[in-house]
Structure 1
Amino acid sequence: MPLRLRRRVRRPVSPSRRRAAVTVVTAALVGSVFAGAVSMAGTPEEGTAHAAGEPRRARPVPEAETPAKVQARPALPKVRPSEIRTRPGTVPPSSVSVVQIVAHPDDDLFFMNPDISQSLHSGSPLASVYLTAGEADGVNARPRDAAGVAADKAGYAEARQNGIRAAYAEMATGSRTSPWDRIAIPTAGGAWAEMDVLRAKPHVRLVWLQIREAGSVNGDRPHSLNGLWHGRITRIGSQRSTGTPVAAPFTYTKEQVVETVAGLLERFRPTFVRMQDPSPGRDQRTGKLRDHQDHLYGARFAQEALDRYAKSPGHPHVVVQNYLGYPTSGLPHTLDAEAAGAKLKTLKTYAWLDGVADCGTVAGCGDLKVAARPTGRGWTQTIRYARSTSTSWVQPDRDGGLLAFSVLDGRLGIWRKTADATDWRGPELLPGDGIDGGVTSVALPDGRVSVYGTRTVLKDYRREVVSTTQTAPGGGFGPWRPLGSPERNDASGTSDISAPAVTVGADGRALLAVRDSRLRLASREQRADGTWGPWRVLGGTNLIGDPVAATDASGRGYVFASTSKTVLAWTRLLPGAPLTGPARTGLPPTTLSLSATASPSGDGVRLWFRKPASGDLRSADFSGTAPAPPFTELPGTGVAGFGPVSGGDGLLAVRSRTGFLATMSQGRTGTGKTGIGSRPLWTLDRFQLAGAPYAGTDGVAAMGLDGRLHWSPTGR
C-alpha cells in the first residue's frame, strides 16, 4: 500500500468516498508479472516485422464496431451519422502499438490529446513514458492556497501520478477509479522504473522513469536533462514518488538515459511514437526558450533513443510524430467545441476537479496546481503537430503511376504503384538516417521526381534541409543532398526550421522555402546549372507552422505561410524570376495547417485551410496578380477534426474528429455564394491516420498508426 504521509493535502469536498484500487507489486515479483503484462501488448512477432510496412486495404468492419456503437463511448466526440457512411474495412488493433514519450505528467494530456483518447478507444496497445517525476517545488496546491503548505516532492510526484492514472482510466474505461497494478521493472540503463498496468485493459500502460526535473521553464538548472545533455553534469539523480514500487534511489549518465528509453522501445515495439518538439525555438526579444527546457531536452533524448532503436534488427517499422507545447499559446484553436470539451474533462480529472474526495492516498488524487487553470494557456482547445503536415508526399509519375513517400525508422520509405496495378509495392528504405517526419515531393519537367525534407544530425545537433532525386524517370533515387539551413547554429534558435515547401518552374529549377527560428520565410533557389544559390530572407513576421508551395498550369510558383491572424503569399511569376512578397491575402485566421494545389480552373492555385475552433473547411483561389477572392466554405461538414485538407481532383481528404480518414467527392456538392449549397456526404475509412492524407485523381492515400500505407481507390 502507498506510504502514509504526516500531512494531508487540501482537496475538494465531495460525498464520494470511493478508493481507487491500486496494487503495488514488489521487485521480487517483477519477472513473472512483467512478462505477463508484456505478452498482452499485441505487437507483431519477430518474423513479421517487414509486413508492418506493406501497403494494405482496410478489412471489413465487424458489426460490433459500427459508427453508432463507437460514438456511444463516453469520451469520444460524435460525428453526425446523416453526413457520413463507413467504408467497409478496418485495421485490427493488434497491428498498432503506440508509445508516447513526454517530459512531465500532463504534457501528454495538454499537448497530445485527443490523439490519446482516440488510440485508447481503438483498443490498440499504448504505453506512455514519463521521463521526469514532475516534482516541481513539491507543493500540491493552487497558488492561492499554497501559503503554509510544506514542500513534499515525493508526495507531489505521487499526486501527479494519481491524476494521470485517473485520467487514463477514465478515457479507457469510463471510470477514473478503474484499478491499476503498479510494478517495478528493470531498465536497460541499469536502474528500475515503475510500470502501471490498467487491470481492466492491460494493453494500457504507464511507465515512470522518475528522473529529477529541472524545476524551471528557462532558469539555469545544471542538475537537469538540459545540464546532462550538454555535459554540465555527468549523472542525474532520481525523484521517486511516495507510493512507487521502485525501492531505492538511482542515478543515470547521459548514455544510460538513452539506453533506458531505447530499452523501453525494444520492450513495447511501437509502430507509432508520439513525442515532444526537440526544436521549439527561442523568443527573439528575450533569448528564452519558447518551450519548457525539459520538453526540449527530453525530446532530444527520445530522438537519440529512437535513432538507436531504428538500427536494431527485427522490429516493426515506426512512424514518429512531434507535438508543439507551450508555443501553441495564443494561436488559433484547432479543436471544435465538442472535442475541446472532452479534452478539458480529462484535464479536470487529472487536476482533481471531478468531485472524488478520496483515492486511497494522502498525497492527493491529482495535480492541484493544474486545478487553478485546467485549460492551460488555451492548450485544451488545441493540438498542433511540428511538421508532418504536407499533403504532397504522394506524386504521380509521367506513366500514370504513383510514388508515395513517408519516413519509417528515420529513413525515407518509398512505395510504387504502376498505372495498371491495383496494389502498391514497398516500402523500399532509402539509405541515410535521421530524416524528420514531414517530407514533400515535386515532379520535374523531365519526368523525374524529387523529395525534400529535413534531417537531424545528432552528433553536433543541428537540422538541415536535404533532397533526393530520381536518377531517371521511373528509376531509383540518388543519395541525399544536403542543402543547409538558414540558421547560424543550434544555440541561437534550437535549429527551429519548418519542413520545406518547394515549387518547380517550367525550366526545371526548384525554389525551396522554410520558416526560420526568427519566424520569417527564408529560401534558396536552384541555378540553371543545378547548383544552389545562397539562403535569402524573404520577410514576413511571426510566421507559424510549415509554409506550403504550389505551381500553377502556367509555371508560376506560389508560397503561402500562416500567421496567427492571416495568410501571407509570395509569388514567382516567371521561370527564373525571384520570389516576391509577402503580399497580404486578406484571408481570416486559419488553424495554420495549409495545403495548396494547382487550381482546377487552370488559372492560379487553390489554397485549402480550416476555420479555427470548428474544423470546417475553407478554400480560396489565387491567380498571382490580385488578393484572394472571397473564400469558399463548407460549413457544418459533420466530420470536424483538425489538420491539413487535401483537395485533389474531385476528392477531399481530411482527418475526422474520431481520428479516422474522411473522404468526400467534391462532385456531390454545389458551390453557392457563401459556401456549399448541399450537405456533403463523407466516407470514413476506419483506421487512424498519421500525418496528412493525400487525395488524387484515382484514390486517397494515408499512413496509418500501424506504419503502413493505406490506399482507398476512387469508387471503392
Structure 2
Amino acid sequence: MSLASRTRLAALLAAVSVAAAGVTGWAYGHGDVRRPAAPEAVVRPSVTEGSALQIVAHPDDDLFFMNPDLSRSISTGIKVTTVYLTSGESDGRNEAHSPHLDDAAGPADRAAYAEARQNGIRGAYAQMATGDRSSAWQRRSIPTAGGGSAEVDVLVARPEVNLVWMELREARSISGDNPESLRGLWNGRVPALGSQLTSGTPVKQEFSYTREQVTAAIADVLAMYKPTTIRTQDPTPGRTDAGTFLDHQDHVYGARFVQAAAALYARSTDRPHFSVQNYVSYPNSSLPPTLDPQTAEEKLGYLKTYAWTDHEDWCGSPAGCGDRKAATRPTGAGWNQTIRYSRGDGTSWMAEGASGRLWAFAALDGRMAYWTRSGPQAPWQGPRFLSGAGIDTGASAVRLPDGRIAVFATRTTLGPAPEDYGRDVVYAVQTRADGAFGPWQTLGTPDTTDVSGTSAISAPSVAVDPAGRLTVYVRDSRRTLRARTQTAPGGAFGTWQDLGGAGLLGDPVTATDGSGRRHVYAATAGSVLAWVQPAPGAPFGGPFATGLPQTTGVLSVRAEGDGVRLFFRRPGSGSVGTSLASVDGPEPQFSRVAAAGGLGGYGGIGVAGGLLAGRAGAGTASVTGADGPQAWQESQMLYTGAPAGVAERAGTTVAAALGLDADLHVVTEVPAAGSEPWGGPPPAPRAPAGAPPTPPPRPLTKK
C-alpha cells in the first residue's frame, strides 16, 4: 500500500451526522485488534444505541451458535435479552451419557434437568456480563399474551441483561416425528402444546398454547423489550437426501414461530425499527471454523461454565449448576470455533444511481428500507420503505444503464396452513432515474417441490449486461447454482436455468471484468467454484474448480482490469485472503493468494475501490486497505449482517453497515490526503472469561 493510500485511509471521515435521518458516522480509534486482553471484565460502550434480543429453541443454542455476537453485545452495555422457547428437558437426566428411560439408572426428572440448564445459562450470562458466574439474579413470573406465564430473570449487577423462559415442551428428538412439539403444533398435528415447568421456577401454573397463542406470546415479549436487533435461528436449513432437516426440528420451527411473531409485532406502531439476523446451527458441524483461536477460547470458557465442567456447587441448587450432558464436549461439534449467518452476508446492497446519488438497502420491520444521498456533500435521507411485507434479510442492488436502480431480495410467505409457508425471489425497479420504485415483482423459486419444507434458497446476486438485461443468481436447496435472465431489457424473465455445482455455501457473487466477461463464484466446504463467460455475451463455462484454498464460505468480488478479484476469510484465523481471477482460455486462472486486511474477524467483507470494510477480531465495524495486510482500523460499533461499499465516480469511496440500532452508519474515504487523524479513544480490549467487573467508562454519544 502506498504512503498516499495509507494517508487517505488514515483520514477516513464521518460522511454524515444526521441522527434524525437514521444515519450516523462510524467513530474510530487507533490500533490493532491484537492487543493483549485486559485482566478484568470491561464494559466497552458502543457508539450506537438500541438493544439486541435473541430467541432460541433451547438453553445453549445462544451460547453455541450466537456467540461471540452475544457476549460482545453484552460488553457494550446495551440492553440484551434472550428468550428460550422450550425448557430443553430432554430425557430428564443431567449426566453426560444418559441411558434409556427404562433401565436401572433411576427415575428421570425433566423439571430438575431443565432447572440445571437454566442455572448453567444464568452462570454463563453472569460471567459474560460481570466476570462472576454466581452474580445474583432477580426472578419473577409474568403473564403472557398467549394466556400462560413466562419466567423473567434480571441480572442484579447489570439489569440491562434479561432472560425470558417460555417453558414450552421440547420435541425430545432431533428429527423424530413427535406431534407434541413445536413442529407438530406448527403443522397442525396437535391443537395445543403444553408447558414443561422447571423445578424452582416462579411460574407455578401449567399451561398450553395453540399455534396462534405461541405467536402472540412471542410478539408480546418483543413488544415488552422493543429490540432493534432480533437474532434467531434458521427457519429454512434445507433437508438431507433422506428428507430429514439438516438441523434440529425445534430450531427450525422455533425460528418459524419467531418469523410469524415478528410479522405480528411489525404491525404495531409503538416500536423502533428492527432488523433480523438468522444463525446457522447444526450444519456448522460439517463446515470450516470461522473464529480465530483467541475468540474460540473465550467462547469455550462460557460454554464450560454452562456445562458445569468443574462440578463445583456455586449455585446452591439441588438440580445442579449446569448441563452435564455438555460437559464431556463443551465445544459441541466444533461449534465453539464457529459463528455463521444463514442470511445477510451479502455485500452488494449499495449502488450509485444517476447524478452521483447513492442508494443503500436493508430489511427493517420485514420491509425493504432504503436510504439515499444526492451527492458527496449532501445529507443522507431515510429510512424510507418500499411497499409490501415479508422481506428477508439480504438485499442486492444494481444500476441499470439508464441510471435506474433495481433491488432484489427474497420474501417469506406465511399463512394459516403449513403448506402456505414458502419463499420466493422478488425485485423492484425505479420507474425513472432517482424516482420512486415500482411494485415488487416475483421470480418465484427454483425449488419447485417441497417448498414449505425447504425454501432454503440463498439471497440473490444480480448482474446487468450492457443492454440492461438483468440476471439473478441463487443457490437452491440442493446446493447448486440457478439463474434466471430477462429475455429483453425491462421485459419478462426466462425460466430458471440449472448451472450445476454441488455443495455450495452462502450466497453466490458476481462481477463483470473490464473486457465485459461475467464471472460468478460460489464457495464450497473445501474450495471455490467458478462460472465464467469466455467472451462477453457468450454462454457460461463451468463450474470450474479454482484450486483456491478452503474459505469460511463467504465471498466478495470486485472487477479489476481484465479480471476480477475475490476476497474471502481463511478458516481458523478469520484473516482475509485475496486472489485475482483472469481469463486466458476456456478456464479462469488465479493468482497466488495474498493477505488483505488485518488479522481476525468473521463475516462478509465489503469491498469498494482500495477499501475493505468488515469485522475485526473484536467484532467491531472496521476498515483497512484492500492491497495489503495492514491492521484493521477499528470503530466502536457492532453491526448486523455485512458491510457494503461503493467507489463513487466522484472519486470518494463509501462504506456502510447496519448497526445494532437498526440505523445506517457510514464512513467515507476522501480522495485527497491532509485531513486530521482518527478521533476518539481506541476500543477497549476483549475481556477474558471469568474476570471481575470494573466501573464502565463514560458512554460516547451518538452523532
Report the TM-score range of the alignment, normalised by the length of the smaller protein: 0.7 to 0.9
- What is the identity, as a one-letter code, of the residue corresponding to 2:71? S
Match of 1:521 among 460, 481, 487: 481
- What is the identity, as a one-letter code, of the residue corresponding to 1:514? V
Partner Cα separation in structure 1 for residue 570 and residue 374 of structure 2: 37
Q: Is the 8 A contact 2:228 2:661 kept in 1?
A: yes
Give the CA deviation at 1:682.
2.6
* Pairs within 5 Å for 1:323-402: 323-402=279-358
- 2:22 maps to 54
* Pairs within 5 Å for 1:296-311: 296-311=252-267
Match of 2:184 among 224, 227, 231: 227
TM-score, structure 1 normalization: 0.86
- 1:464 maps to 424
Partner Cα separation in structure 1 for residue 567 and residue 47 of structure 2: 32
Partner Cα separation in structure 1 for residue 607 and residue 329 of structure 2: 38
Q: Is the 8 A contact 1:104 1:132 kept in 2?
A: yes
Q: Can you list the C-alpha shifts for 1:409-432, whole angstroms capped at 9, x where unaligned? A: 011111111224342111111101
Q: Cα gap change, 1:493/1:262 in structure 2, threshold over 3 Å: closer, same or farther? A: closer
Give the CA deviation at 1:401.
2.5
TM-score, structure 2 normalization: 0.87
Q: Which SS does the other structure have where 2:463 is aligned?
A: strand
Q: Cα gap change, 1:422/1:68 in structure 2, threshold over 3 Å: closer, same or farther? A: farther
Match of 2:38 among 63, 68, 72: 72
Give the CA deviation at 1:630.
3.1
* Pairs within 5 Å for 1:121-520: 121-143=75-97, 148-284=105-241, 286-459=242-415, 460-490=420-450, 493-520=453-480
Partner Cα separation in structure 2 for residue 266 and residue 59 of structure 1: 30
Q: Which SS does the other structure have where 2:23 is aligned?
A: coil
Q: Does 1:659 align with 2:624?
A: no
- What is the identity, as a one-letter code, of the residue corresponding to 1:72? A
Q: Is the 8 A contact 1:266 1:309 kept in 2?
A: yes
- Deviation larger for 411-420 or 251-260: 411-420
Match of 1:603 among 535, 548, 562: 562
Q: Is the 8 A contact 1:71 1:77 kept in 2?
A: no
- 1:643 maps to 603
Q: Cα gap change, 1:495/1:354 in structure 2, threshold over 3 Å: closer, same or farther? A: same
Q: Which SS does the other structure have where 1:399 is aligned?
A: helix
Q: Does 1:632 align with 2:598?
A: no
Q: Which SS does the other structure have where 1:503 is aligned?
A: strand
* Pairs within 5 Å for 1:500-649: 500-528=460-488, 530-574=491-535, 576-599=537-560, 602-625=561-584, 626-634=587-595, 638-649=598-609
Partner Cα separation in structure 1 for residue 86 and residue 143 of structure 2: 17
Q: Cα gap change, 1:466/1:322 in structure 2, threshold over 3 Å: closer, same or farther? A: same
Give the CA deviation at 1:149.
4.0
- 2:701 maps to none
Q: Is the 8 A contact 2:275 2:365 kept in 1?
A: yes
Partner Cα separation in structure 1 for residue 34 and residue 530 of structure 2: 43
- 2:638 maps to 688
Q: Cα gap change, 1:77/1:383 in structure 2, threshold over 3 Å: closer, same or farther? A: farther
Q: Identify unmatched segments of 5+ residues in structure 1.
A: 1-49, 79-89, 670-675
Partner Cα separation in structure 1 for residue 366 and residue 515 of structure 2: 36
Give the CA deviation at 1:696.
3.1
Partner Cα separation in structure 1 for residue 290 and residue 374 of structure 2: 37
Q: Which SS does the other structure have where 1:532 is aligned?
A: coil
- What is the identity, as a one-letter code, of the residue corresponding to 1:448? R
Partner Cα separation in structure 1 for residue 568 and residue 81 of structure 2: 33
- 1:81 maps to none
Q: Is the 8 A contact 1:567 1:585 kept in 2?
A: yes
- 1:699 maps to 654
Give the CA deviation at 1:490.
3.9
Q: Is the 8 A contact 1:453 1:467 kept in 2?
A: yes
Q: Can you list the C-alpha shifts for 1:345-365, whole angstroms capped at 9, x where unaligned? A: 111110001452342111010
- What is the identity, as a one-letter code, of the residue corresponding to 1:511? T
Q: Can you list the C-alpha shifts for 1:506-531, whole angstroms capped at 9, x where unaligned? A: 12112111111111111111112621
Partner Cα separation in structure 2 for residue 201 and residue 358 of structure 1: 19
- Deviation larger for 617-626 or 568-577: 568-577
- Deviation larger for 113-122 or 492-501: 492-501
Q: Cα gap change, 1:606/1:92 in structure 2, threshold over 3 Å: closer, same or farther? A: closer
Q: Cα gap change, 1:209/1:346 in structure 2, threshold over 3 Å: closer, same or farther? A: same
Partner Cα separation in structure 1 for residue 626 and residue 452 of structure 2: 46
- More RCO (CA 8 Å, sep 6+): 2
- What is the identity, as a one-letter code, of the residue corresponding to 1:703? L
Give the CA deviation at 1:489.
3.8
Give the CA deviation at 1:218.
0.6
Give the CA deviation at 1:450.
0.9
Partner Cα separation in structure 1 for residue 32 and residue 613 of structure 2: 21
Partner Cα separation in structure 2 for residue 60 and residue 643 of structure 1: 20
Give the CA deviation at 1:96.
1.4
Q: Is the 8 A contact 2:80 2:162 kept in 1?
A: yes
Identity across aligned pairs (percent)?
49
Q: Is the 8 A contact 2:576 2:599 kept in 1?
A: no
Q: Which SS does the other structure have where 1:162 is aligned?
A: helix
- What is the identity, as a one-letter code, of the residue corresponding to 1:687? M
Give the CA deviation at 1:467.
0.6
Partner Cα separation in structure 1 for residue 452 and residue 371 of structure 2: 38
Partner Cα separation in structure 2 for residue 294 and residue 373 of structure 1: 21
Partner Cα separation in structure 2 for residue 455 and residue 397 of structure 1: 24
- 2:693 maps to none
Q: Can you list the C-alpha shifts for 1:176-196, whole angstroms capped at 9, x where unaligned? A: 001111110111111110000
Q: Cα gap change, 1:321/1:433 in structure 2, threshold over 3 Å: closer, same or farther? A: same
Partner Cα separation in structure 1 for residue 316 and residue 400 of structure 2: 65
Match of 1:119 among 66, 73, 88: 73
- What is the identity, as a one-letter code, of the residue corresponding to 1:399? S
Partner Cα separation in structure 2 for residue 557 and residue 67 of structure 1: 36
Q: Is the 8 A contact 1:53 1:317 kept in 2?
A: no
- What is the identity, as a one-letter code, of the residue corresponding to 2:663? R
Q: Which SS does the other structure have where 1:692 is aligned?
A: strand
Q: Which SS does the other structure have where 2:638 is aligned?
A: strand
- What is the identity, as a one-letter code, of the residue corresponding to 1:547? P
- What is the identity, as a one-letter code, of the residue corresponding to 1:225? L
Partner Cα separation in structure 2 for residue 248 and residue 229 of structure 1: 24
- What is the identity, as a one-letter code, of the residue corresponding to 1:469? V
Q: Can you list the C-alpha shifts for 1:628-679, whole angstroms capped at 9, x where unaligned? A: 32333227x5441101122211111111122211111346x4xxxxxx5xxx
- 1:35 maps to none
- 1:84 maps to none
Q: Identify unmatched segments of 5+ residues in structure 2.
A: 1-17, 648-652, 676-703
Partner Cα separation in structure 1 for residue 121 and residue 499 of structure 2: 45
Match of 1:712 among 662, 667, 682: 667
Partner Cα separation in structure 2 for residue 74 and residue 378 of structure 1: 27
Q: Cα gap change, 1:682/1:370 in structure 2, threshold over 3 Å: closer, same or farther? A: same
Partner Cα separation in structure 2 for residue 329 and residue 69 of structure 1: 30
Q: Can you list the C-alpha shifts for 1:2-32, whole angstroms capped at 9, x where unaligned? A: xxxxxxxxxxxxxxxxxxxxxxxxxxxxxxx
